[in-house]
A and B are shown apart, each in its own frame.
Chain A
Amino acid sequence: MSEQIESLLKQDYAAGFVTAVESETLPPGLDENVVRLISAKKGEPAWLTEWRLEAYRGWRQMAEPTWAHVHFPPVDFDAVSYYSAPKSMADGPKSLDEVDPELLRTYEKLGIPLHERAKLAGVAVDAVFDSVSVVTTFKEKLHEAGVVFCPISEAVHTHPELVRKYLGSVVPRRDNFYAALNSAVFSDGSFVYIPPGVRCPMELSTYFRINEAKTGQFERTLIIADEGSHVSYLEGCTAPMRDENQLHAAVVELVALKGARIKYSTVQNWYPGDRDGKGGIYNFVTKRGLCHDHASISWTQVETGSAITWKYPSVVLRGDHSVGEFYSVALTNNLQQADTGTKMIHLGRNTRSTIISKGISAGRSSNAYRGLVRISPRAEGARNYTQCDSLLIGDRCGAHTFPYIESRNASATVEHEATTSKVSEDQLFLCRQRGLDAEKAVSMIVNGFCREVFKELPMEFAVEAGKLLEVSLEGSVG
């Protein structure tokens, strides 16, 4: 049994290959000139350059947060290169056929649907390769519906009024250390605008991928759902295997105007580092949504990767009757560390939020849920329900729960419950008695443990998420 575990735990990171594409990379280090250069390379308007500089100045005055339950050597922000673009981009591919075949093969290995699968799955992919969007499909069809789905660097030029109005409106430039850094140097990301009353005709999807060694990736995603509109957005992440740690500090802003609905799903399997904790992504992400009246925002995430995760997708329930949801599965193995959770800020009347968090720790990893539910005095009739369950596999890992509850309205109801246990011997016994081996049994039990979250995922992602967990967990039972 234990040999089997060993071999399975040694399983290679399937997405860990490096694509040899010539890229244009800035030398490491960050100062105002680098910020200006990034902005100039993208041909940004003056206001945005100034916006970035303001963020940079703020960042210089800020200190790295240390409150999270993670431990890692300090990041040398001067050793990071803040811009990297595949060289072949300079000519600008007009269609898929013109795209560097190396890149396309990368996506193929990752199993991203670009050609047929994209159509079959009805998925429009805005693939971000390192920092520049390579190709955007299904643009036409979306255009008909009036939906704008393009790289944010393009939206700056095509929809400046929207970008200017909403950029930084949910996550202010100086919100926190990593958000400030991102605001200063963000490279690219997706921009989505759904016009009033439109139900987006397909699921939107972006695959992020960090390729170049020693490059940090700083995407910036902005999604605006206008009144009464509806959109479902899928985000997947992978990174190649490298010995050094790589930095990923993204910002995602969601704006759900009156009656709008945004569903944001993430499957994250950034390279987690090897069995000894060498290498892997540092994932320091700020994700936040703002709900106006009757709007709803739902975050669903399956996190299996990254050496360090520091991520709290949040919802500010500003409008009356707005709804926030957070469904999360976070799995850590080997020496991975995750400190993740959500914030639900109830400002409006009759706002509702639901938090379902499932943490699975294996190996020598550490997995913490950190959440905040804040009921403001104005949030008459607000309602929150939180459930955090942790599953421990192996006796050298850690599972932690740090829920913060702040209630300032008597008519609000806040409920939190959390449990921690290991995979039940009884359940294992039952499965094995029926002829399943321990591996299968654990996989089944874990899948059952996560079911409440998986059922919130779009179908294609749910399958992938299930598979991911299986790969990451197989053999950790003993």
Chain B
Amino acid sequence: MGAFDRNLAATLYAPRPAPEWIRALRETACAAWGAAPWPTRKTEAWKYTALDALDATAWLRCAEAGEPGFDAAALVPGLDADRLVFVNGCYRAELSCLGAQPGVRVVNFRAANSGDRATIDGALGQLATGTDNPFVALNGCWLDDGVLLHVGAGVRARRPVHVVHVGAAPDGPSAHAQRLLAVLGRGAELDLVEQFVDLPGAGESLVAGLSELRVGEGARLGHCRLHGEQERAIHIGAVYVELARDARCESLLFALGGALKRIDFRLRHRGQGASCRLDGIYLARHRQHVDLHTTVEHEVAHATTEQVCRGIVDDAARAVFNGRIHIHPQAQKSSAELSNRNLLLSDEAEVDTKPELEIYADDVRCSHGATVSRIDEKSLYYLLTRGIGRREAEVLLGYGFVNELVSRVGDEALAATLREVVRDWLGQPGLPAGGDAA
């Protein structure tokens, strides 16, 4: 067992053939990665998340496209979507299914035409500058392919876009990047599902994720990022969102724990009247570690943020939540609410939460709340008195706890899949399907 080799990491993908523009991006990123200060326990944003888990990836090696042999459509049954499938970071056209939608461009980076390139050149890396997060640079170092979504002005995408990242290849561990750029024109509408899954037998992996979502004036983006990798997987990812005037983003981040799972979600309100709903669910058990950092920048007046994050932590797992809301001096009439609730199911589990408010304007309404506790004894008692077993009652209450957020997902097929995951996780497959069970 050696330590994580940062120099090796920087040049890991350098030999991999790629279009010239991707190689150029890699080089820039490598310089940034080399210059970026390495987070320690003293780094505020990494106070509760040690990078020791990276030491276990001394094996660092490029990912190879693994053997597919699975049905991507079955991941979210009933989701009628344009689907892009990446296996170990490599785009697999034969598993993907792209239907033509007028005004909607869905393409992987390597297949980008000159028009796509213009969009990419104008937007890629604009939101994720990476000055505050070295792993944004790492994502650039490993850039090999990615997804471009472009929805033209006034176009409402008829079908959602489903981007699937599959870990396969039982022939050893692998490291790769996930990259996505979405640009929504004025008044455009799009639903996007990013899903990470591992096939049975998938080895260890280290994934540096990065999605940039740019939402134009009056446009609406529905976004779900679903992390369901196996336990040994390490994912350090970031999602950057920018909202123009009157734009709206409704996002759900759903994460099961892993050896190390760290997501930085950063949203900027750039235009007045912008609004967002950011929901988060994290479920961690065994010795898993899950860390969700969110930052919402209110840079202009009249923007609205509504954020609810909930987590269930069992066994000796650890969950970290940091939710920062920053109201800039000119952002009068801002409204921001954040709630973070955590259920601790075991005495060995740990939750570290820090909701933050940083406010420089006076005519605002901001609040945040955080709780950490076990399942409410009174609710439990109520169910027990009705003849429900203790274990079953706990599952019901835990399910209800997160189902409140799942119920806000617009797409029924997706919501059903999420419920299934929650049920599986709680170890109770017999719950009634659909609806608010608790």
Contacts and interface: CB of A to CB of B under 8 A. Distances in A.
B353 interface: yes
Contacts of B372: 375, 405, 407, 412-414
Given A410-B349, A411-B374, A398 B358 contact: yes
Interface in B352-372: 352-372
Interface stretch (B18-26, B95-103, B267-275, B339-347): B339-347
A285 to B, nearest CB: 22
Nearest to B337: A419
B318 to A, nearest CB: 9
Nearest to B363: A422
Given A404-B352, A413-B373, A421 B365 contact: yes
Given A410-B345, A416-B371, A400 B359 contact: yes
Nearest to B354: A404
Contacts of B348: 377, 408
B189 interface: no
A252 B9 CA distance: 49
B296 to A, nearest CB: 14
B370 A399 contact: no
> Which of A377, A415, A416 is most buried by chain B, counting CB atoms within 10 A of its CB?
A416
Contacts of A375: 372
B369 A421 contact: no
Nearest to A362: B362
Contact of B356 (A395, A400, A407): A400
Interface of B: 44, 48, 329, 332, 342, 344-374
A421 B364 contact: yes
Nearest to A397: B362
Nearest to A395: B362
Interface of A is mostly: strand
Contacts of A205: none
A187 interface: no
Contacts of B352: 404-407
Interface in A68-90: 69
A416 B359 contact: no
Interface string A388-408: 001011111111111111111
A340 to B, nearest CB: 15
Interface residues of A, number: 36
Given A410-B344, A410-B347, A422-B363, A399 B353 contact: no
7 contacts: A392-B364, A398-B359, A403-B356, A407-B342, A414-B373, A417-B369, A420-B364
A294 B230 CA distance: 47
Contacts of A402: 354, 356
A401 B371 contact: no
A418 interface: yes
A25 interface: no
Nearest to B314: A410
A409 interface: yes
Nearest to A375: B372
Given A403-B355, A407-B351, A408-B350, 5 more contacts: A397-B360, A408-B348, A409-B347, A415-B369, A420-B357
A390 B363 CA distance: 12
A412 B373 contact: yes
Contacts of B351: 405-407
Nearest to A414: B372
A413 B371 CA distance: 7
A401 B356 contact: yes
A409 B329 CA distance: 40
A414 B372 CA distance: 5
A394 B361 CA distance: 8
Nearest to B346: A410
Contacts of A400: 356-359
A67 interface: yes
Contact of B360 (A377, A398, A413): A398
> Which of A393, A394, A410, A418 has its CB near the most chain B CB atoms (within 10 A)?
A410
Given A400-B359, A401-B356, A403-B354, A417 B367 contact: yes
Nearest 4 A/B pairs, CB to CB:
A392-B362, A410-B344, A407-B372, A413-B373
Nearest to B360: A398
Nearest to A419: B367
A419 B366 contact: yes
Contacts of B370: 403, 405, 414-417
